[in-house]
Structure 1
Amino acid sequence: MRDTISMLSIRTRLSLGTSALLAIPFFVSPVQAQEAADAGGTQPSNEIIVTAQQRNERLQDVPIQIQALTGETLQNAGIRTSAEALSMTPNATFDQGNTYKSTFITMRGLTQINNADPPVAFVIDGVPQTDQTQLNVNLYDVERIEILKGPQGALYGRNAEGGAVNIVTRMPADRIEGFADVQYGNGRNFVGSAGVSGPLAGKDLLFRVDGSYSHFGGLIDNSYRGDKSDFIDHDWSLRGRLLARPASNLTVDLRAEYGEYRAASNYYSAVFSGDPNDFVDPQFNLPGFAYGHSLNLTAKVDLDLDFATVTSITGHTELTQNNRADLDFRNPVDSPSGIFGLGFQAGQGQDLDLKTTSQELRIVSNGDQALRWLAGGYYLHTSRDLRTRGFVDLDGDPAQIDNTALLFANKQEANSNNAYAAFAQVDYDILSSLTLTGGLRYDEDHRNQLDVVAAVRRRSSYNHLQPKVTLTYKPMTDVLVYATYSTGFRSGGYNAPSVAIGEFKAESLQNYEAGFKAQFANGLLTVNGAYYFENVKNYQYFYVDAASASQIIDTIDRVHIQGLELEVIARPLPGLDLSGAIGTTLSKIKEDAVAEDIGNRTPRTVPFSANMSAQYTWALTGDATALVRADWQHIGKKYWSADNAQVQNAYNLVNMRAGVEIGGLGLYGFVKNLTNDKYYTEFVPTKYSGLDVDLGYRGRPRTYGIEARVTF
């Protein structure tokens, strides 16, 4: 009965959402389309060029469902982080929880887990980011973001089961240019960024230097401590880039970025009711915070051989994060019995040290001939050291973690991983309107873990062959339909030493997808959509054992996931841009060792999500223009755990931004979460937390402020 009612609810929402989206095209009458074309208006995504398949292609010509956000779109929407960017994509969520830098990406039902690989390939300027602490990045001076939905294992390899996120920062310019952007809002929220670019030696040696800084006093009250639990003391980064052309067919692109931060962490609320719709403030006594730094180095070399381009991308990352937080998430006044009723409070801490080095070498055919191909190889070395401690909290001081007499959990592990891959893809135009694409990738991981405390070492290897086949038919220039069979793979690995489930299995899936892309009225109307079905084996999820301060990864034997996606983009009038999208993710546990979970939805599933945007720009006087934009995001019911016992109600986020631009100066006002909707970005029931109380991680309430931007 529950499934029947739920399915009817999904169908009702899908019908309403589809009706709303399909209403957009009726705004585009033939007369309006002609007027817009005569006025020079173009459809927002019409000319976007993406590199989703490692070559420059027009967005609408790629047989993949892609959300492409240009730097201009990010600026107009006030998007400042990758988390905000993904929230613009139905069937994708980007939640915060645990430490300051920890994030939980879920795409098409595949979800992020702590201390393990993400479910999507996350790439910045060609370099994969392999740890969840690397995924929520500050966006400034960005050329575009490409969000690819569905398995992309053939080209992106391991961890691209749910899709891929490709962030491309701006290239150095051949003339002096720059920008400065400052915004200030409630909660003493300050965000600033600036950059400059230009030539050092003509057009053969160019540079770009940019950076960002943020500070936030916080908006979420701690009812016991009387302070703000979500503060950011500082988070800054500085990036430099050098582009050299020593020969007409050779380009060398060097990039370095360094950043530091100190901010709030683990600000969970103790939810005594066990209801994920009971929104309460944090009440812990031991302050939670994290601090750390990161260094990223990238070297990209392109050699044009006329018939093909050879590309080498070398990346190196060093990252540290030290985290201190409460463990029982209560205080001695309101909960004098302490954790598990043992009469004492408890604290926790983790120290992470991560180093990665990657090397990719590929060759891509040039031109748009009937036969197009690419091939390459990839290597990744990861060193990940993690110390986890749980301690008796006597006085609320995080420094107690260093008192060995107070420790009741002390784990220290050294993990290393060597990953190898070889890949190839061929596109062949059987007819001028019919293209067959075949891709193949082989991934192999060699994992090694040392229990530093017990001096015990474990080793395992995981490998997988990932094929992909796509048939694309273009009956006319601006219309294509496609059918795809693709696969995905997420490596297995080890939990922390002494955890009951020592090793977790590799996850794999098969995806069947049919979709279309179409443009009408000289590109003023775009309609894209797809249906997908995924068969997942060893679906990975995690839970916590608070008593041993352990985060445990386990697997569900088999899961089926299916869904629909529909996107509509239109420019009915010059200056007016409308867009909307809906997505469904219907997951079902088919086989599992926990019999009562069979038939349930998978953890963190949102069966229905949608968004709509409207932006209008118009000329004022002289070179002055005005801009008004509104974005609406609907996040449907969220099933937090495999038993489906805790379900968070749907909520809506409304963001608005308006401003005036005069030449190179822009002044704006903005508000995010206008209706001040309450929600948790993570909810952990006692069954999965190992505690004696449920935990909720509060989402950010309404924020508002002003912004000034100068470009030259």
Structure 2
Amino acid sequence: MIRKPQQKPLAVFIAAQCLALTLGSQTAHAQDEDFAPSKAAPKTQSRLMEEVVVTAQKRTENVQDVPISLQAFSAEKLDALGITDQIELQRITPGLNVTEQVSYTITFLRGVGTDASIAADPSVATYIDGIYYPFSSNLAQNFGAVDRIEVLKGPQGTLFGRNATGGAIAIYTKNPEFDGFWGEALAEQSSFNTTQGRLHLNIPLGETVAISASALYTESDGFYEGKHDNASRDLHGDRAWGYRLKFRAQPTENLDINLAMSHLEMYLGAGTISYNNEPSDFVGSQVFGIEPQTGYYGEIDAEVLNETNPNEVIYGSMEYLAPWFTVKLLGSDQRMDTKGIRDLDGSPQPIAILNTPDQYIDAQSAELQILSNGEWGPDWMEWILGAFYFQAEQGFGEVDFQLLGLDLTQGTISGIQLPAALVNLLNTATMNNLPSGAFDLTGLVGTESRAAFAQATFNLTDWLDLTLGGRYQEEERFIVSSTVGLDTGNGRIEVADQSNSATDSNGNPYPAHDIQKDFTPKVSLQMRPFDDDTMIYLSWQKAIKAATYNTVAITEEPDYVAPEELTAYELGIKTNFFDGLIQLNAAIFDYSVKNLQTYYLSTFAGGIISFQNAGAAKIQGAEFDVVMPILPQWFDNLVLLGGAAYLDAVYEDFDNAYGYAEDGSFQNGDANYTGNRVIRTPELTGNLSLSKTWDFWGGPFEVAFDAYYSDEFYFEASNREASHQEAYWLLGSRVSYLYEDWDLRVTAGVRNLTDERYFTGFFASDWGTQATLSAPKSYSLQMLWNF
């Protein structure tokens, strides 16, 4: 909206003067309308002080003008903060909790999230270049050549749609440009024999056509050590490589066409390891004699791995600036194939091995947006209309579940070789159709979703705006395949086909095909009662996360998991002082969640994460983030970036729950977790980055220090001690020098300075718990060259 400048009232003027004195600024020349900084801007400005433009409401806006709680980071700011992947975002984003388990990126934002697998959808939606990514696997990858990242907090049901109950993370990669050839090359060497490389090239093919190419490669020995395959071989390392190709054309001044393709391959060996650190009391320790393995070294009996080959996405967009409005079209075709082997018991004993040789998601999406552009219609209203289509098939085309080392085709039971004569006799008698001892399961879910959405902002006065929005969605969710079989020497014996049956949470029959029809509204007030630099917003909105089915099961029929529904109230403020030098944002919020989708895992449910509904949960909290110079009268470019979040998140109704008791025994729908804390939700998190930049010979020299704090939390809804993560601090530091003549930056850094041990992932089974430890203290040396 175009607004007339407002004068600052006396109270705000006095507050600003007091803050200036606290900072040590000289404000003698500050005028009533605009407060100037205390001294002329230095030659080199801190990279933490960059202003970021966002598209959180599908149009280009300054981050401080968007009535949504969000944090945005440019590529330059991410580099200054030492952030290279999605897991590290939590170090700079209050209220965000990101971990990784067996290559799945698990994201919780303000207490809302999903221990997602390929068979379920994340509650915090991920978008790359405006395209919705429905899977959580392998998202914890190097960001590559990004332009910016936006973390949108709170439900985004109107504009971002399905499965954005917790929020959204929007990643924007660099688009091709027409104004010349340029490139970026990065090389990094760090601890644990880790090598990382990245290359980005921008190639103009004329005044209106350009292409770009980005490539990345990482390789690491990993920080976990040990033996696998009956303790006879060392663990394998990790590697990943990929590329992104983009084509851009502007055949007319009103038309912008972008086409892209991304390809990623990943192999995790040591990166998928976690040892049984706390065996269950009876099954794990007494029956099978599993010993705890609590450090970085251990032994297992399976050659564990997780391999993605490939994760491939073809996508594009077209934007047309018509005389009346702007039209945007977006579409994608996505395919990800993954296979893995996991030692479910996490010990050297041959007890339980999970093999998923055919794990995939095949998805297509299309979106239409029509936006006001100021050329037509009243100038007191901004609006957007849109439609969205999505279809997918996802899950497990094959799951092999090996139990107690039984393999009669090889003549072994629990690793003990049977007499050859007996094996030959049995094979002859059954015509080589002996069972291998492995269950052969399938579990695939299909989705078809259609939605229409609209949002309009009305400029009621020169200081008050009203935003109204809504999204109507029809989504079909259905079981494609759910079968149980036994592997044999000649193939597979079908035991049960459950593809046309399902039960609800109470065990009652439920159709294997479900249609949801939902409307999610939004109302927001934006006020600037003091001046144009201070916005107060108040919002109410709803969001829906799709229903799903637990389709992988051995002893029970597949069951239906109801959609997750969230209602949110939020009050926030965004304000700037001294021409934007100081930026302070804060918010308080209240969430009511119905049918919160929460995970559990049991061996006889197929060894795959399953989901259940917590009847109700309540999440209340407050947070703030700030960027400001420190004592600018005495120090140039000494900048603080920080924030904190407080969350009170509890299950208000969670009866008839599945999970593990304190002794590790499985509670099969007879537990009550009402009153427990919501999983992966620390009560308090906070971050602080302090950076100082000096003008040095040849270019700027930068020193930075980071601190991140997480309060205690639980990985399981039972809140048992085995899933308890204690509070921890994470410290790091970097020094950086930019030689401006070559545009070459060299950075040396250290992570986890105090060698803190905390969990970055958690996995529970009937045999015990497997918690993935954080990386120890590590060092890195990086060179970044822009040419």
Partner of 1:602: 678
Partner of 1:26: 22
Kindly indicate whether the alpha-carbon contact (under 8 Å) linking 1:217 and 1:228 is maintained by their aligned counterparts in 2.
Answer: no
Q: In structure 2, what residue type is equivalent to 1:666? A: R
Q: 286, 307, 317: which is aligned to 2:324?
A: 307
Give the match's secondary structure for 1:72: helix
Q: 372, 385, 391: which is aligned to 2:402?
A: 391
CA distance in 2, matches of 1:235, 1:346: 25
Kindly indicate whether the alpha-carbon contact (under 8 Å) linking 1:195 and 1:211 is maintained by their aligned counterparts in 2.
Answer: yes
Alignment of 1:123-138 (within 5 A): 123-138=127-142
State yes or no: 1:290 paired with 2:296. Answer: no
Alignment of 1:207-246 (within 5 A): 207-222=211-226, 225=231, 231-232=237-238, 234-246=239-251
CA distance in 2, matches of 1:441, 1:348: 40
Partner of 1:425: 455
Alignment of 1:253-652 (within 5 A): 253-264=258-269, 266-272=272-278, 281-292=297-308, 293-332=310-349, 339=351, 346-367=353-374, 369-386=379-396, 387-392=398-403, 394=405, 405-451=435-481, 453=483, 454-455=496-497, 456-457=499-500, 458-475=512-529, 476-498=531-553, 499=556, 502-547=559-604, 548-572=606-630, 573=632, 574-594=636-656, 596-621=672-697, 623-646=698-721, 647-652=724-729
CA distance in 2, matches of 1:277, 1:559: 35
User: Residue 603 of structure 1: CA displacement?
Assistant: 1.8
Query: Relative to 1, partners in 2 of residues 1:677 and 1:442: Cα closer, same or farther, differing over 3 Å?
Result: same
CA distance in 1, matches of 2:569, 2:614: 21
User: Residue 443 of structure 1: CA displacement?
Assistant: 1.8
CA distance in 1, matches of 2:107, 2:172: 19
User: Residue 404 of structure 1: CA displacement?
Assistant: 7.9
Give the match's secondary structure for 1:75: helix
Partner of 1:17: none
> Is the deviation greater in 523-532 or in 77-86?
77-86
Kindly indicate whether the alpha-carbon contact (under 8 Å) linking 1:218 and 1:228 is maintained by their aligned counterparts in 2.
Answer: no
Partner of 2:487: none
Query: Relative to 1, partners in 2 of residues 1:589 and 1:446: Cα closer, same or farther, differing over 3 Å?
Result: same
User: Residue 103 of structure 1: CA displacement?
Assistant: 1.3
Gaps of 5+ in 2: 1-17, 28-35, 282-291, 413-432, 484-495, 501-511, 657-670
Kindly indicate whether the alpha-carbon contact (under 8 Å) linking 1:42 and 1:523 is maintained by their aligned counterparts in 2.
Answer: no
Gaps of 5+ in 1: 1-21, 333-337, 340-344
Q: Aligned residues, how many?
A: 669
User: Residue 274 of structure 1: CA displacement?
Assistant: 7.2
CA distance in 1, matches of 2:686, 2:600: 29
Q: In structure 1, what residue type is equivalent to 2:640? A: L
CA distance in 2, matches of 1:407, 1:297: 40
Residue identity (%)? 26
Query: Relative to 1, partners in 2 of residues 1:133 and 1:324: Cα closer, same or farther, differing over 3 Å?
Result: same
Q: In structure 1, what residue type is equivalent to 2:110? A: R
TM-score (ref. length: structure 1): 0.89
> Is the deviation greater in 47-56 or in 133-142?
133-142
Give the match's secondary structure for 2:88: helix
Query: Relative to 1, partners in 2 of residues 1:135 and 1:464: Cα closer, same or farther, differing over 3 Å?
Result: farther
User: Residue 282 of structure 1: CA displacement?
Assistant: 4.1
Partner of 1:70: 74
Partner of 2:491: none
CA distance in 1, matches of 2:293, 2:706: 24
Partner of 2:9: none
The structure whose Rg is larger is 2
Q: In structure 2, what residue type is equivalent to 1:255? A: A
CA distance in 1, matches of 2:709, 2:232: 32
User: Residue 24 of structure 1: CA displacement?
Assistant: 11
Kindly indicate whether the alpha-carbon contact (under 8 Å) linking 2:444 and 2:479 is maintained by their aligned counterparts in 1.
Answer: yes
User: Residue 131 of structure 1: CA displacement?
Assistant: 0.9
User: Residue 487 of structure 1: CA displacement?
Assistant: 1.1
CA distance in 2, matches of 1:227, 1:657: 37
TM-score (ref. length: structure 2): 0.81
> Is the deviation greater in 270-279 or in 294-303?
270-279
User: Residue 406 of structure 1: CA displacement?
Assistant: 2.8
User: Residue 410 of structure 1: CA displacement?
Assistant: 2.0
User: Residue 206 of structure 1: CA displacement?
Assistant: 1.1
Kindly indicate whether the alpha-carbon contact (under 8 Å) linking 1:151 and 1:163 is maintained by their aligned counterparts in 2.
Answer: yes
User: Residue 531 of structure 1: CA displacement?
Assistant: 0.4
Q: 735, 738, 746: which is aligned to 1:661?
A: 738
Q: In structure 2, what residue type is equivalent to 1:479? A: T
Q: 107, 111, 115: which is aligned to 1:109?
A: 111
CA distance in 2, matches of 1:58, 1:48: 7
Kindly indicate whether the alpha-carbon contact (under 8 Å) linking 1:148 and 1:163 is maintained by their aligned counterparts in 2.
Answer: yes
